[in-house]
A and B are shown apart, each in its own frame.
Chain A
Amino acid sequence: AQSVSQHNHHVILSEAASLELGCNYSYGGTVNLFWYVQYPGQHLQLLLKYFSGDPLVKGIKGFEAEFIKSKFSFNLRKPSVQWSDTAEYFCAVNAEKNDMRFGAGTRLTVKP
């Protein structure tokens, strides 16, 4: 079965700083890749997804992620974070239909 690794447990940034959250997965075949966000007190929401085509995908709220197949990575980026981006971010991989695996999550704290 596939596994997902998120390198950073907790990231603290100041507003306007750039963000990159790492995500690596282990699976040799075709994968669908996702980033989910969980704002404080709210439920999980899909931020962006990749399943084919352009490896650079854009999501909501200015987030983007790049799929690098050779590195088995799907890092999340945002050029300038805002205080409202404070949340928990989860990378997920779905290699076989309906077998989604989540990373441990990265807590992002943005200081105003």
Chain B
Amino acid sequence: SAVISQKPSRDICQRGTSLTIQCQVDSQVTMMFWYRQQPGQSLTLIATANQGSEATYESGFVIDKFPISRPNLTFSTLTVSNMSPEDSSIYLCSVDGAVNEQFFGPGTRLTVL
């Protein structure tokens, strides 16, 4: 299994600002994923990030709001832009394993005031 770290672990932000979340993996991986887990709800996939190509976004998520970078095989960032209180959530990155399982990072707890 992969070891995944995320920065920051939590943040409190003002409305209208942006936050960039970093995800670092201890091994090279093909696919990285970004999820959102809103309070009391399950995980919702935001986008899939491949190294060297544009991220693929799920329905309801757009690049202008959630730009993603994937500069190499061990690192990705997700930016939450022009934040509003509705963006308060836990943001998780994950990577694919050998048999279609996914391994998750510890998450970034974001509160938008």
Report which A residues bind B (CB closer than 8 A).
32, 34, 36, 42-46, 49, 51, 90, 94, 97-98, 100-105
Q: Does B103 contact A (CB under 8 A)?
A: yes
Q: Are the C-beta atoms of B42 and A43 separated by less than 8 Å?
A: no
B13 at the interface (CB under 8 A from A): no
- Extra inter-chain contacts (13) besides given A98-B100, A103-B42, CB under 8 Å: A43-B106, A44-B92, A46-B101, A49-B99, A90-B42, A90-B43, A97-B96, A98-B31, A100-B100, A101-B45, A102-B42, A102-B43, A104-B41
A97, B100: Cβ atoms under 8 Å? yes
Q: How far is the CA of A32 from the CA of B102 in the complex (A)?
A: 11
Contact B48 A43 (CB under 8 A): no
Q: B99: which of A51, A90, A102, A104 is its contact (CB, 8 Å)?
A: A51
Are B100 and A51 touching (Cβ within 8 A)? yes
Give the contacts of B38-69 with A (CB-CB under 8 A): 41-45, 48
Q: Which of B43, B92, B102, B105 has the most CB of A within 10 A?
A: B43
Q: How far is the CA of A90 from the CA of B101 in the complex (A)?
A: 13
Is there a chain A Cβ closer than 8 Å to B33's Cβ?
A: yes
Q: Are B92 and A43 in contact (CB under 8 A)?
A: yes
Contact residues in A for B107 (Cβ distance below 8 Å): 43
Choose one: A42, A45, A49, A98; the contact of B48 (CB below 8 Å). Answer: A98
B104 within 8 A of A: yes
Interface of B is mostly: strand
**Residues of A contacting B44 in the complex (Cβ-Cβ under 8 angstroms):** 102
Given known contacts A43-B92, A100-B45, is B104 in contact with A34 (CB within 8 Å)?
no
Report the minimal beta-carbon distance from B4 to chain A, rounded to whole angstroms. Answer: 8
Whether the pair A32, B106 counts as a contact (CB closer than 8 A) is: no
Q: Which residues of A contact B104 (CB under 8 A)?
A: 36, 43-45
A98-B33 in contact (CB<8A): yes
Interface flags for B81-100 (1: CB within 8 Å of A; 0: not) read 00000000000101010011
Are A32 and B99 in contact, CB atoms less than 8 angstroms apart?
yes
Contact assessment for A46 and B103 in the assembled complex, using a CB-CB cutoff below 8 Å: yes
